Structure 1
Amino acid sequence: MTYANRPARLNRILLALLGIALLAAGAFAFAAYSGWPGWVDPDTPLVPGTAAPPDWVFWLVITGATVLGLLCLRWLVAQLFRMPRPVPWRMEADGSAGRTVLSSRTAATAVAADIESYSEVHTAHAWLAGPRTSPELHLAVTAEPGADIARLRGRIHDEAVARLRRALEVGELPIRLELGFADAGQRAPLR
């Protein structure tokens, strides 16, 4: 999991807990229906009496369901927009007969591979967003334990990002860089 994808672990935990709770509730309801627990009578009404509850109970249930539904929709929308989607960039030279189409994913993969080749880097992930004339670079870099972060940040900016700017022929390249350390027990990937 990359640092730019922080909600993923929380989402998995919440979904797992919700799934376990729903499975337990379903299993209990099925067991109660079949009469398995001796203390549950399947013929007993769910609520005592036949009178309707007060109006405030209905409003409370409606309000709670609406808030829960809106929170679930917000959570769902947050899952849809993680990282920028790759876009095709058309590169045409003045007076040329042809054109070149480059995916932003291809350029981002090259930058990530360049950064991962540094000895102090454990992993690197890159995303490019926006039009080819003014792209934005998103980087998530995990450094080896004990790496000099200031030096690594300078090297990324001065070497990898500078090469990308020259390749894309852009003057400015806004960068969002997230740096973190790998756990001491993790092994570096084979290069």
Structure 2
Amino acid sequence: MGVLNRTVLGLLGFLLLAAGAFVVCARFGVLPRPRAGEGLVAGTGLPPTWVWSVVAAAAVVVGLLALGWLAAQVPRGPRSRTWPVGSWSEHGRTHLTTATALAPLLEELRGFPGVRSAGGDLRGDPPGVLLVLSLVVERTCDPGEVRGMLVSRALPRLRGALELDDLPTAVEFRFATSTPGRGRRGRVV
């Protein structure tokens, strides 16, 4: 989707630059001006009626594509989800939001050597839950070492807190660049 966005924005920018250059050239007399009483285009007859139908249909299609592209720009975050902890008792049941359940794990990951930032989400419903993590690490960091600490230390605690026997996990490593907040995509482990 990012390539499509850049392509559409680049094309739109090019068209706006061309229109601006045309207006500037017309203003300063670079383009020849039509004489009084002379038509701007050859022929003065109206086009056939099917041309208007094609133009209207093309305008509707372009308008719908533009609305779809605009709707795709609205940021969508994951739905807030709650996770049941423990079994039902006479006092009820405890529920945690995804953010609350992942906060200790993400804080622990940020403390790992070489990890600059960590984000994550729990997807699916128990028992088919998938943990998706995105880590930005320093260029000198060994992703295998971070993955080993994640598997041996951090994930067992989260599985215990959520009372899950198994928690499939997808980890995306991004290597930090010199500019904070941006990263180069690494491989998914």
Question: What TM-score does the superposition give when structure 1 sets the normalisation length?
Answer: 0.66
- The question of 1:162 aligning with 2:133 is answered no
Whole-angstrom distance in 1 between the partners of 2:63 and 2:171: 35
Most deviating of 129-138 and 143-152: 129-138
Which residue number in structure 1 is paired with residue 187 of structure 2? none
Relative to structure 1, the CA distance from residue 36 to residue 93 in structure 2 (aligned partners, 3 Å threshold; closer, same or farther) is same
In structure 2, the residue matched to 1:136 is: 130
Match in the other structure for 2:147: 153
Judge conservation of contact 1:92–1:98 (CA < 8 Å) in 2: no
Work out which of the residue numbers 149, 174, 179 in structure 1 matches 2:173. 179
Q: Which moved more, 1:66-75 or 1:79-88?
A: 66-75
Are 1:112 and 2:106 matched, yes or no?
yes
Give SS of 2:88's match: coil
Distance (Å, rounded) in 2 between the aligned partners of 1:153 and 1:145: 15
CA distance in 2, matches of 1:64, 1:167: 56
Deviation of 1:45 (Å): 5.5
How well do the aligned residues superpose, as a CA RMSD in angstroms? Answer: 4.0
Hey, which of these two has a bigger chunk of strand by percent?
2
1:94 aligns with 2:85: no
User: Could you tell me how far 1:108 is from its partner in structure 2?
Assistant: 2.7
Q: CA deviation at 1:94?
A: 3.1
Measure the CA separation in 2 of the matches of 1:152 and 1:106.
23
Question: Per-residue CA shift, 1:5-30, capped at 9, x if unaligned?
Answer: x83x974785476367448747966x
**TM-score (ref. length: structure 2):** 0.66
SS at match of 2:139: coil
**TM-aligned CA deviation for residue 37 of structure 1:** 4.5
Greater Rg by CA: 2
Does the 8 Å CA contact 1:86/1:129 hold for their aligned counterparts?
no
Identity of aligned residues (%): 37
Mapped partners of 1:116, 1:19: distance in 2:
40
Moved more, 50-59 or 145-154: 50-59
Structure 1 residue 115: deviation in Å? 0.8
